[in-house]
Amino acid sequence: MIKNYSLGLLAFILLLGSCNNSSKTASAEQDTVTRASLNKPEEIQQISEVITRFARAYLSQDNEKVNALIHPEHGLAVIYRPGVMDDFKLVDSFDIRNPVPAHYLYTTFENDKTLTFEALPEFQCDTDKWTKYGFMSDTTKTSVTHLLDTIMKYQGEYNEVKYDEATLKKVSILEDGSYRVILNPTDEHFLIFHVKQFEGSWFVTLLDRSYGNCDA
């Protein structure tokens, strides 16, 4: 009797674990945004052009040229870190004289790196160094980010911030399906942004001013 009870209990535990694993797998699949990889020569040429144009315009602090690469309807999302937790601001245009956040100036630096398409580097806070240096974008279908969604989740959970439907829609438009770019010739100098295609034209949709900073 005891043996049969033990076997039954073991079977129930195994079944429960199987259900939990299935639930986690399903959740992970739902959180994944499908995005096609770029590999055709004309696609690479188009995305290369907008990436290099934005980097040059930003580093030369040319408002007009930067804003020419920001979608006139959807604008730009700027991620920053005001404290322990990341936050973001949606702006219609870029202004070198009015940075987001106000105390973190848009700085320039020398760049002699050539754009390549490969896995992106990571910044390691324990050493304050990047895992590699260069000018890189990952255009594979697996390099999808959920930065803005994650920020909204934590801001809602810990700071009780509520976002209206218009913000949720714009966030989705700006980040879903975008391609991340990291320009980091040194540990101290870097520029991180996303680009996305809208009806055949490429625009810069997100500026990440948080990643690569471990002050908080």
Average pLDDT score over residue span 3-7:
43
* The pLDDT of residue 212: 86
* The pLDDT of residue 210: 96
Cβ-in-10-Å burial (0-12, 13-18, 19+) of 111 comes to middle
Lowest mean per-residue pLDDT among 18-32, 140-154, 176-190, 202-216: 18-32
Tokens representing 79?
Answer: 């991620």
* The pLDDT of residue 216: 53
What is the per-residue DSSP string for 142-155?
T----HHHHHHHHH
Q: What is the pLDDT of residues 111-154, one digit of tens each?
A: 999 999 999 999 999 999 999 999 999 999 888 899 999 999 99
Q: Looking at the DSSP assignment, which residues form a beta bridge with residue 194? A: 180, 206
- Beta strands, E only, the chain: 76-80, 87-91, 115-117, 123-124, 129-130, 134-137, 179-184, 191-198, 201-208
* The pLDDT of residue 39: 84
Q: What's the CA gap between 18 and 31, in Å, rounded?
A: 20
Q: What is the mean pLDDT of the chain?
A: 86
Q: Looking at the DSSP assignment, which residues form a beta bridge with residue 80? A: 87
* The pLDDT of residue 170: 98
Cβ-in-10-Å burial (0-12, 13-18, 19+) of 81 comes to middle
* The pLDDT of residue 146: 93
pTM tops 0.85: no
Contact (Cβ atoms closer than 8 angstroms) between residue 211 and residue 151: no
Q: What is the pLDDT of residues 153-191, one digit of tens each?
A: 999 999 999 999 999 999 999 999 999 999 999 999 999
Nearest CA to 51 out of 214, 178, 199, 211 is that of: 178
Contact (Cβ atoms closer than 8 angstroms) between residue 192 and residue 181: yes
Contact (Cβ atoms closer than 8 angstroms) between residue 193 and residue 206: yes
- pLDDT band for position 43 (50/70/90)? very high
